Structure 1
Amino acid sequence: MEVIRLQYPNEFKINENENIAIALGFFDGLHIGHQKVINKMIEIADKKGLKKAVLTFDPHPSVVLNPKQQRTTYITPLPIKERILEEYGVDYLFVINFSSTFAKLSPETFVREYLIGNNVKEVIAGFDFSYGSLGKGSISTLEQYKEFNTTSIVKEIDHEKKISTTRIRKLLSEDKLEEANRLLGRSYGIEGIVVQGEKRGRTIGFPTANIEPSFKYFLPSLGVYAVTMTIGSDPKIYKGVASIGVKPTFHENHKVTIEVHIIDYDQTIYGETVMVYWEHFIRHELKFDGLDALIEAIQDDKNKAIELLKDK
């Protein structure tokens, strides 16, 4: 897959001999609603012999359009989004820098410069996709162009509610991990590097890998989780119990950290890139009166994680 980063004004033009089917959207999470858009694009491209493309934006438009509620953390940071789309067999990923200047673009200019100008013959997007200054462009305006066909993907519903990135972020923040994973269509994963920590865990019999996220991820709520994990390029799945928190038993106002106790594993893995998959929420973070109470709770967490992950 070729990743093409675009600015405004757009000076890039695709090879004139290549015609394109393109899926439009921000696609944070690449949840099952997004997957429907991507799969429809692939279906149309294969049927009509077109190149497969996705057009997205970076950063999230809210950084420019809604600074009071700007979204600077992601379920699928751009490098992860790139990997997933490559697995789909996408030929081109267009990433437009969503700047203040780009946000002022008229819908007509956006279509002419970024779609028609790049030989787009099929446009696929969610029913609520908007574009151009003040979001004046919509699926309805796209359908008016004769240079390409437009396919609108209807709202994907689960339990009578729209499946959306906003909904999944809310579920992750409310300890509803299993529901969030169901809407994602996979277990939520966070990639990171194993770094040196305080090494307190090994002194109480529960050594942990301290994970520094590689990208600006949206983190689940503070608490303890049953997780699975891969280490480096090894496809083996390890099981563990993880905490996201500030270690209130030992600290006040300390930064949030991610620690994973890998079950039945005793090797040193500093510097390794790992992927932590968040499978089940166990409990909220607590402040304990002493080490004995903490050790007892961690052992209980480990036992629960083993039970919850028995089918993994």
Structure 2
Amino acid sequence: MPVRARVIIDNDFGGDPDGLFQLAHHVLCASTEVVLVIASRVADAMIAPGRDIVAEGVEAADEVLEMAGSRLRALPGSRAALGAGAAPPESAAADAIVAEAMRADTALPLFYAAGGGLTALATAYLIEPRIAERVTLVWIGGHGYDAPPDNVEFNTSADLVAAQVVFRSPMAIWQVPEPTYGQCLVSWAELDRDIAPSGALGSYLVERWRRFTQGIERRFHTSLGECAVLGDSPLVLLTSLQGTFRAEPSSSPSRELPRRPIQDDGSYGPPATDLPPVRVFTGIDMRLMYADLVAKLALAGGDAQQEGAHVAPGRTLK
């Protein structure tokens, strides 16, 4: 199958395991070429002191990449958020983004699929502003536009300054805000029936998420119910599972809204008339997104068993 586009994946793989589901799904897609994988930070308030969430994310992403049969390995993103008005820090991830965006040997469009904070992308833009003309950001993040927020949205909080930098740039943005990614619910019964039996990779993904959920429930003395959120999987749907005659995410509804900079409290400011609009997705084609994930994991699991691939089913989860 001919490749239609390139994809840079940037996610907090050491945090919620939905990013690992997205990573596995993305690298199993044939119509897009994953060219970079970046493990990013989460907000400092979200992690225990002493944890290196970026290093944990690199390790988790590399495990998934290996089991999915990819030769790629993850790059570590910055462990620190951007400072307001500060010069961009040195960053191997940002340098790799610039190099990929500025390539002259390909005409394939470039998507930046981000399921967490935007530190690496904002840093790359500050280093080389011309990348804004060459990249379409597909971002899982930001509040919805129909009600005032009462806090800073989770992915925005990973690096508020970075989100502000990107939203004040002329970069094309496709946004899946909180009310939309919150629609991406699947039940544990579905995960256990459809994904856990799909070879070592499917088993790994479900088990990792189960342990994450159990840890959250113990820590906060609460119940997360019988559903999990595939909140990062729209990144696959919108970039890889596009229409046939026209490469367009036509199965999920969206609307174009005026670009509104992100304020210090996480809300949106007045429209910026000198910047392009934002394509905001208001719904997600869950049937296609989930069914394709299940099918690709099943096929990958079957192929691995038939070929006798060594995929280390007894991995220890962190």
Q: TM-score, structure 2 length as denominator?
A: 0.33
Please identify which structure carries the higher helix content.
2
Please identify which structure carries the higher strand content.
1
Higher RCO (Cα < 8 Å, 6 or more apart): 2
Q: TM-score, structure 1 length as denominator?
A: 0.33
